[in-house]
């Protein structure tokens, strides 16, 4: 089989595994280093762990923007390659670097005033605020490593090269894991830096992965970029942003959701915020493999949509949903059976354990629905209809979750907050199915006109 045509001709079941496996491995390692980061910080103090929980919404906001840009690039590049329009695909990739640099300049500037203003909304504890501001400023100032690496990885993914993308993520994650204990607690001539050390380890991991990513992308002879010949195109920018902005907002909803839940939990205790922060790091270990799966699905869906191979698009959606369901069922079993063991990893106090066991068991009951919804969202994004994904995510994380969490907290306390999560997952699953059926019924017309509305 001609390797360059695998997106078009390889058996879909095998192709999904081939395309997704490298991304799944790298995302698991990514989740692992996020967890290890918090495990080490928890050894400093519970306040330091609370600070990282409060800082995570800002960190997630940055990630949301990076991912939105990356998905916009991936979607448009893969569609243009499917249409055999290589020149536009290459110019689109070059636009990714241009937009990425502009975004980094914005983040670096805003790091001077945004963090402290944000954290004072949640707590007046000066120690927690100090740790959170210290960590966040470093992440924002050195975010160029993460955003350029994300651009490079999505260029490679759009061309079907998932192995290189995996190597980039593994390099950054492993570097972070190695540097975390060294910089946090000190080693030999390196002083103990505490929370600042955790931030520096993260930034260095991202910068090292960025350099490696640039070597791979700029040295790729099959998809040859020439930055010197870059010419700006308003049309290409619009096409990137048309998918990227809704995806960014969809990801950004996670930051709003985290902030909203933290505000509700702050009414009870700082320990409740720490527990939710621990849960969110742990659940990433389950969700990250599904995100890796969708990274493999994106170019398959986009390429075959561009090539107008409807049957392969639908097979990819079907088997992608099955694989996501299997991953989520395994994750649910882990959270149901081993909640205490998971919490002990974070040096949990008796109060953290008391709140955390219920948190992990109740929220994980909605994992299966969340996994399938994630695949459905990727389906819409790949076909250039990201606003549909935004609608589903808006319902899932904001419109349903936050009001229900607040209302139930008035009746059942913190337990009511946890119950709101599976309610939101099931509801968004139903909404996602509605839009999926709507798109499938109109698919013949979409493939004839090359337009997709939902």
| Closest by Cα among 164, 150, 154 to 62 | 150
Q: What percent of the chain has pLDDT over 70?
A: 94
Tokens describing residue 188: 């030999």
Specify which residues 190 forms β-bridges with.
187
In this prediction, residue 449 carries a pLDDT of 54
Say yes or no to pLDDT of 309 above 50. yes
- Higher-scoring residue by pLDDT: 286, 385: 286
384 — pLDDT class (breaks 50, 70, 90): low
67 — pLDDT class (breaks 50, 70, 90): confident
Q: CB neighbours of 297 closer than 8 A, spacing ≥ 6?
A: 16, 19, 20, 316, 320, 375, 378, 379, 382
Residue 190 in 3-state DSSP? strand
pLDDT single digits (tens) 188-231 = 788 888 888 888 998 999 999 999 999 988 887 777 777 777 78
Q: Does residue 226 come out as left (phi exceeding 0), alpha (psi in the -120 to 50 range) or beta? A: beta
Over residues 81-109, mean pLDDT: 86
Q: Read out DSSP for 10-52?
A: S-HHHHHHHHHHHHHHHHHHHHHHHHHHHHHHHTT-HHHHHHH
pLDDT single digits (tens) 127-177 = 888 988 999 999 999 999 989 999 998 888 887 777 888 888 888 888 888
Residue 293 in 3-state DSSP? helix
Q: What percent of the chain has pLDDT over 90?
A: 25
Please report the sign of the dihedral spanned by the C-alpha atoms of residue 118, residue 122, residue 124, residue 129: negative
In this prediction, residue 453 carries a pLDDT of 40
* HSE toward the beta carbon, residue 139, CA cutoff 13 A: 24
Pinpoint the alpha helices (H) of 219-309: 234-266, 270-306
Query: Which H helix or E strand runs over 359?
Result: helix 350-364
- Higher-scoring residue by pLDDT: 207, 253: 207
187 — pLDDT class (breaks 50, 70, 90): confident
Which of 182-186, 367-371, 384-388 shows the lowest per-residue confidence on average (mean pLDDT)?
384-388
| Distance of alpha carbon 124 from the chain centroid | 30
Say yes or no to pLDDT of 180 above 50. yes
d(CA 413, CA 169): 40
Residue 164 in 3-state DSSP? helix
Query: Do 195 and 129 meet the contact criterion of CB atoms below 8 Å apart?
Result: no
Over residues 40-48, mean pLDDT: 82
Q: In a 10 Å sphere around its CB, with 0-12 CB exposed, 13-18 middle and 19+ buried, how is residue 235 labelled?
A: exposed
Tokens 């894991």 found at: 177
Say yes or no to pLDDT of 344 above 80. yes
445 — pLDDT class (breaks 50, 70, 90): low
Number of C-beta neighbours around residue 273 at 10 A: 25
Say yes or no to pLDDT of 407 above 90. yes
386 — pLDDT class (breaks 50, 70, 90): low
- Higher-scoring residue by pLDDT: 426, 40: 426
Say yes or no to pLDDT of 322 above 80. yes
Over residues 316-336, mean pLDDT: 93
Say yes or no to pLDDT of 443 above 70. no
């Amino acid at each position: 089989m001609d390797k360059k045509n695998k997106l078009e001709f390889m058996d879909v079941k095998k192709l999904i595994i081939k395309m997704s496996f490298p991304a799944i491995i790298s995302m698991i390692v990514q989740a692992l280093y996020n967890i290890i980061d918090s495990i080490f910080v928890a050894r400093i103090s519970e306040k330091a762990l609370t600070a990282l929980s409060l800082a995570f919404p800002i960190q997630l906001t940055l990630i949301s923007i990076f991912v939105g840009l990356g998905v916009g690039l991936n979607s448009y590049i893969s569609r243009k390659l499917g249409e055999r329009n290589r020149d536009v695909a290459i110019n689109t990739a070059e636009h990714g670097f241009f937009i990425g640099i502009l975004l980094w300049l914005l983040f670096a500037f805003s790091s001077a005033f945004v963090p402290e203003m944000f954290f004072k909304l949640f707590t007046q504890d000066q120690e927690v605020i100090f740790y959170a501001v210290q960590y966040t400023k470093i992440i924002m100032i050195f975010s160029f490593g993460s955003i350029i690496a994300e651009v490079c990885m999505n260029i490679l993914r759009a061309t079907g090269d998932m192995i290189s993308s995996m190597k980039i993520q593994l390099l950054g994650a492993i570097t972070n894991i190695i540097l975390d204990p060294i910089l946090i607690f000190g080693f030999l001539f390196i002083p103990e830096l505490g929370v600042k050390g955790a931030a520096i380890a993260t930034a260095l991991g991202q910068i090292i992965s960025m350099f490696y990513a640039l070597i791979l992308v700029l040295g790729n002879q099959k998809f040859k970029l020439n930055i010197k010949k870059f010419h700006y195109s308003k049309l290409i920018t619009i096409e990137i942003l048309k998918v990227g902005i809704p995806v960014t907002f969809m990801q950004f909803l996670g930051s709003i959701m985290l902030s909203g839940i933290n505000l509700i939990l702050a009414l009870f205790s700082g320990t409740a915020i720490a527990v939710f922060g621990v849960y969110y790091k742990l659940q990433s270990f389950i969700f990250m493999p599904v995100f890796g799966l969708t990274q493999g699905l994106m170019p398959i869906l986009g390429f075959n949509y561009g090539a107008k191979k409807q049957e392969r698009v639908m097979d990819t959606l079907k088997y992608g949903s099955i694989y996501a369901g299997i991953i989520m069922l395994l994750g649910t079993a882990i959270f149901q059976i081993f909640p205490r063991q998971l919490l002990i990893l974070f040096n949990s106090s008796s109060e953290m354990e008391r709140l955390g066991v219920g948190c992990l068991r109740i929220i994980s009951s909605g994992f299966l629905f969340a996994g399938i919804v994630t695949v459905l969202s990727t389906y819409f994004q790949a076909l250039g209809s990201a606003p549909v994904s935004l609608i589903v995510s808006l319902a899932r994380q904001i419109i349903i979750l936050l009001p229900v969490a607040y209302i139930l907290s008035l009746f059942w306390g913190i337990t009511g907050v946890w119950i709101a999560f599976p309610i939101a997952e099931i509801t968004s699953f139903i909404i996602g199915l509605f839009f999926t059926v709507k798109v499938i019924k109109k698919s013949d017309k979409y493939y004839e006109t090359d337009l997709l509305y939902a």
